[in-house]
Amino acid sequence: ILKSIYAPLRRENRIVGHIFVFQDITKQQRLENMRKEFVANVSHELRTPLTTIKSYVETLISGAMDEKEIAQQFMNVINDETDRMTRLVNNLLELSRLDNKQVKWDMKLIDAKDVLINVVNKMDMNIKRKNQILIVNTPDKVPEIFADRDRIEQVFQNILSNAYKYTPEGGKIYLDVEAADNIVRIKFRDTGIGIPKEDLPRIFERFYRVDKTRSREMGGTGLGLSIAKEIIEAHGGKILIDSEVGVGTTVTLEIPAVAATQTIK
């Protein structure tokens, strides 16, 4: 897209030349479109739970309150929907802090394996309840990484909970930790529903989801992977995803081991 500006060049009231300025606004336009789309997405994502809450509250007010069992059910829905809104707003705040470089990184030497085990322990009950099998494969000693522990934990949590959410009952989740060439590589592999190839290039975009309804049913916000990507890249690392529909998904994190980096951008 080109924008042009024209102005005559005058000297003593005579036109002695012409000035044309052509400006390529393709990039600008694209950014503007992305911004608009983001605002539309946020509004929509907030309005959906609000609409639900409003209609349940109205029904309660107009009499359902007297039916104890129904009232209890409605209250549970309202509770879940407010939790979803809180999660969404917290994720948005985190993204905005990352965008504005306002994150105060608490960088320390940490053992990624420890953090992973921590996350596994937190998720274990859910995984067992869904009859899924979790197989962790890690060497005894893994080189340390220079990282913000809480944020790395958040990344592991986001990716593991996706594996759990998008893998049916009885499925398997494999976690492999490897150390190679000054990086620590962590693979999260599941035997879940998978992601169509055509969706893979956009999967790290904010709010991009293969199946909105399914993501919502699972309590997703559509921001987990984009937050994970921002955090891993801020640590000088990489996040990769590969998937096949009906077979499963593998998300791989590559984080520089300590000898390779000491600082953060």
132 is a site residue for ligand ADP (CB under 6 A): no
Q: How many CB atoms lie within 10 A of CB 167?
A: 21
CA–CA separation, 202 and 25 (whole Å): 23
What angle do the packed helices 149-165 and 224-234 form, to 10 degrees? 150
With CB under 6 A as the contact rule, the residue among 127, 155, 160, 210 that binds ligand ADP is 210
Q: Which of 49, 143, 171, 224 binds ligand ADP (CB under 6 A)?
A: 224
The residue whose two tokens read 């993204």 is 95
Task: Note whether 81 binds ligand ADP by CB under 6 A.
Answer: no
Q: Is 171 in the site for ligand ADP (CB under 6 A)?
A: no
**Scanning the structure block, which residue is given the tokens 């309202």?**
78
Kindly tell me which of 251 and 257 has the beta carbon lying closer to ligand ADP: 251
> Which of the ranges 103-111, 138-146, 177-185, 191-199 carries the binding residues for ligand ADP, by CB under 6 A?
191-199
Binding piece for ligand ADP, criterion CB under 6 A, among 40-48, 125-133, 156-164, 178-186: 156-164
Cα–Cα distances in Å, from 74 out to 25, 79, 129, 216, 220?
50, 9, 25, 18, 21
Q: Which of 195, 231, 232, 255 binds ligand ADP (CB under 6 A)?
A: 195
Taking CB under 6 A as the rule, does residue 166 contact ligand ADP? yes
- Asked if 184 touches ligand ADP (CB under 6 A), the answer is no
The CA-to-CA distance between both ends of the chain, in Å, stands at: 33
Q: Is the dihedral of CA 82, 168, 222, 94 positive or negative?
A: positive
**Stretch of 8-16, 32-40, 129-137, 192-200 lying at the interface with ligand ADP (CB under 6 A):** 192-200
Strands 238-244 and 248-256: antiparallel
Quote helix, strand, coil % in the chain, to nearest 5. 50, 25, 25
Among 35-43, 102-110, 203-211, 229-237, which window interacts with ligand ADP (CB under 6 A)? 203-211
Burial grade of 184 (CB within 10 A; 0-12, 13-18, 19 or more)? buried
Nearer to ligand ADP, 195 or 257 (CB): 195
**Stretch 246-265 residues interacting with ligand ADP (CB under 6 A):** 249
Rank residues 133 and 259 by Cβ distance to ligand ADP and give the closer one.
133
57 residue type, one letter: V
CB of 138 or CB of 250, closer to ligand ADP = 250
- Contact residues toward ligand ADP (CB under 6 A) are 158, 162-163, 166, 190, 192-195, 203, 209-211, 215, 220-226, 249
